[in-house]
Homo-oligomer: A and B are copies of this chain.
């Protein structure tokens, strides 16, 4: 995306100051008691789904990704509590992992441009080698992320199991998917956009394809997200937005990241596994539900793993 075009979009969707100069939760501020009660009302059958991937060494990070799949070690294994009564024993473990190695939230501090993060926070003042002083994921963790979730199944809209890697989803497709879902999107909702890309990892086991080209949202979708006053947007790829050879020459890299996280203050939910949920929604025609996806309160972190839970 050309910088000149990007800047027009950015100005249009920027939320700085909208919820106060000290705000650290951005569009999550759209979630209020009324929105939450509407979310609760959308749970009608008592059917529960986890949208979280497994966290382990076989995760989606490749050797070149710069991120590490979770490495789990038993710190205590089959150890007696007491030498006198050795029958009773316990186990305990540690992990070394990239916080964004699998299903995860990007905190508002994950990206920035022109030296400034969301709401005017200066990168130079905020960023340290052990975390960010502003806009850390702990602000998204308290009081967590819960709202009505809406599935927009773009792959099904096109009648394919997964969109091709070069597919950049436009706002019109989001509209058509919402229409197909039979849902009116309302302020504070969280949309879950399904591209089917997760299947390249979970079914095709093609880690390289999974990490190279993503079907995903185009930058133009930023306005759509803004205009619908959404609380957050989640996707079954690693960036929400489309990434491919055609995006490498962008004057503004990862433009949707920049527009959402830095200008709008909208958290991005990535690597959400929507397969089982989407099958169920296609079967019963209910595409809205209660979504609870609380990040962990890592102080100063720029992201957090999450196990998103859906109740239909």
- Contact check, A71 vs B50: say whether CB atoms are below 8 A apart: no
Partner of A68 from the list B81, B94, B129 (CB cut-off 8 Å) is B94
Q: In the bound complex, how far is the Cα of B97 from the Cα of A216, in angstroms? A: 33
Count the copies: 4
Range of interface residues on A (Cβ < 8 Å): 35 or more
| Shortest Cβ distance from residue A251 to the other chain B in the assembled complex, whole angstroms | 5
Q: In the bound complex, how far is the Cα of B37 from the Cα of A40, in angstroms? A: 10
Q: A52-B297, A73-B74 are in contact. Are A132 and B43 (CB under 8 A)?
A: no
- Contact check, B141 vs A113: say whether CB atoms are below 8 A apart: no
Partner of A75 from the list B73, B89, B144, B257 (CB cut-off 8 Å) is B73
Q: In the bound complex, how far is the Cα of B261 from the Cα of A287, in angstroms? A: 36
Q: What 1/0 mask marks residues of chain A from 95 to 133 whose CB sits below 8 Å from any chain B CB?
A: 111111000000001111110000000010001111110
Interface residues of A in 119-176 (CB under 8 A from B): 123, 127-132, 138, 141-144, 146
Interface residues of A (CB under 8 A from B): 3, 31-37, 40, 43, 45-50, 52-56, 58, 62-63, 66-68, 70-79, 81-82, 85, 87-100, 109-114, 123, 127-132, 138, 141-144, 146, 248, 250-254, 257-258, 290, 292, 294-303, 305-309, 311
